[in-house]
Chain A
Amino acid sequence: MGGAEHRLGLLAAAPLALVLGLGFLAPLAIVAAFSTMPERVFDLGHAPDFSGYAEMIRQGYWRSLLRSLAMALTATLILMVLCWPLAWAMARIWRRFTLVITIAVVLSLFVSENIRLFGWVLVLMKGGLIDGYLRHWFGVGVDGLLYNPPVIVAGLVYVYFPFMLFPMAQGIAMAPEDARAAAMDLGASRWTVLREIDLPLAAPGIMVGALLCFVLSAGAIAEAKLLGGRSVISIGDDVETAFTYAQNWPLGSALAVSLIAVLGGLVAIGLARVDLDRIMGRR
């Protein structure tokens, strides 16, 4: 590690570090600072009294935090099961079809999630694609597909699908094929191979995917708003209301800090166990 190379590294890191310092760390610091302030103040020149947290507990905002975390966890678990066969086939069996799926899934990422969720509203609504055609063909439609918690979870599963699929497929591809073959030769059943070989070896990829999906869906707003109507208020929704209509910065900050503390803790634990150089293919 030469001195010149160290200087080059520092210099090259500077632009991104600057953007993230001013546009990521500083805003989070200010949110943390405001979360300690008395109610409805708009500057930091007051003695901290943590009333935002007190209000969060008194007014029951912790319930929407728990609800959002529960929905995020459900979506993540569903995604693990849904993505596993596909990720496995992409990494182990298919060649050309893997490319097709990769391109198609990446393409879908470039369409705003509100347009895609709006599409689901058109599919599921009364007189929508499903209800309308069922009524047209059979005379009976299905109503009430929208505006309930399960459809919000389905929306989360849909939007964050790529964030589970790709890390999982990458994790599976990193596990050596020989280990499977050896276990098979030694007479292990398919189930044993899955439990003892496939899952542990693919664990880093699965963990990255699960972390991403959980974190992103816990703070998501659009799914609950567009698909859920007002049937469920997510924690992100509460933060938005506090920051905008209610103009209660300390409360919004306390809510945001509580969410970020949970998610940040998980990410810190998870990322500490992952070797980035290896996942990203250092030679």
Chain B
Amino acid sequence: MSADADLTGPRRGARALLALYGVVVLAALYLPLLAVGFASVSKGRYLSFPIRRYAFDWYGEALASDTVREIALTSLKVALIVTILSVFIGFFGALAFARYQWQGRRAFQKLALLPIFFPQAVLGLALLMWFNALGILPSWKTAVVAHLVWISPVTTLIIAIRAYSFDPALEEAARDMGCSTWRTLREVTVPLLAPGMVSAGLFAFLLSWGNFPLSLFTLGVDATLPKWLYARMVSGYTPLVPTVGMLSVGFSAGLLALGLAALGLRGLARRKAGQARQDI
């Protein structure tokens, strides 16, 4: 916490209270995950707290299970395809959202926001009926479409934040020096937006991997991890539920750590490079 005590800010006691409040909120945010974590290492078949015997048996069972592997692979497949497509859509969407001054821009901005301001479960149900009406059998492919409807606007916004902050003069300079539109895009725009695209890709993957309300209704007979977990929660509970839940969360966390490390390293390298230039 910063020590810049300004005159308009609250006094020390109030600051301490606020910090305490922040810590309590964070604890409440993660309390359910703590409970799931404890449940996942409980040895008994019937769960009750306090847990008497701890064991990692269920983790072994989950990793050995063919069903779990198959469902994890479906989740992975959906998330990867959604990531690639939504970063592509989001890249161009962000240019239309933030960079180019064109007539339909305001309307396009509102359109891009609508799916975010829409209850996902209702969207999933509307899509289910849409696919039924078209005679398309719901499967993991329709779930990809459903995820795209919600995640492409998110990637568009993330990349747009980056697009807002770059100077259009850079692109104009490239064009003035004779670059084609395509070459300007490839050699100026893409590198400038790259950090936004990496963050957007990370968000897209993780949001698709963990998505529940859209997946619940649009997967048909296929299942991703959240959908399978839900089915086991409401009927046919097995001790695999907390275990598979923790494995899924652990996978997200690992991926996120990798992504943050990559972005951090890139930032560090750039700062070093900037330093080197200054030294010269």
Contact = CB atoms under 8 A, between A and B. Distances in A.
B239 interface: no
Interface residues of B, number: 102
Contact of B92 (A14, A82, A112, A158): A14
B273 interface: no
Given A30-B129, A111-B249, A114-B226, A216 B36 contact: no
B81 interface: no
A127 interface: yes
Interface in B140-159: 145-146, 148-149, 152-153, 156-157
A252 B161 contact: no
B93 A119 contact: no
A114 B212 contact: yes
B130 A282 contact: no
Interface in A99-131: 100-101, 104-105, 107-123, 127-129, 131
Contacts, number: 300
A20 B47 contact: no
B125 A256 contact: yes
Interface in A10-57: 10-17, 19-20, 23-24, 26-28, 30-31, 34, 42-44
Contact of A263 (B119, B181, B253): B119
B37 to A, nearest CB: 9
Given A6-B102, A89-B18, A260-B122, A111 B252 contact: yes
Majority-rule SS of A interface residues: helix
Contacts of A277: 98, 164
B241 interface: yes
A20 B111 contact: yes
A141 to B, nearest CB: 10
B148 to A, nearest CB: 5
A93 interface: yes
A170 to B, nearest CB: 11
Main secondary structure of the interface of B (DSSP, over half): helix
A219 B212 contact: no
B226 A115 contact: yes
A94 B194 CA distance: 29
A93 B10 CA distance: 9
Given A24-B114, A97-B19, A108 B230 contact: no
Task: Give the interface size bracket for A toward B.
Answer: 35 or more
B13 interface: no
A277 B242 CA distance: 43
B121 A221 contact: yes
A203 B125 CA distance: 33
Interface string A236-277: 100110010000010011001001100100010001000011
Contacts of A116: 32-33
A54 to B, nearest CB: 20
Interface in A119-152: 119-123, 127-129, 131-133, 136
Contact of B245 (A43, A115, A220, A282): A115
A210 to B, nearest CB: 11
A240 B1 contact: no
Interface in B171-202: 181
Contact of B253 (A94, A107, A118, A120): A107
Contact of A128 (B49, B213, B241): B49
Interface of A: 1, 5-17, 19-20, 23-24, 26-28, 30-31, 34, 42-44, 82, 85-86, 89, 92-97, 100-101, 104-105, 107-123, 127-129, 131-133, 136, 158, 161, 177, 180-181, 184, 211-212, 215-216, 218-222, 225-226, 236, 239-240, 243, 249, 252-253, 256, 259-260, 263, 267, 271, 276-277, 280-283
The 10 A-B pairs of least Cβ separation, nearest first, read A219-B119, A119-B32, A9-B102, A132-B49, A27-B130, A13-B96, A127-B48, A9-B100, A16-B93, A23-B149
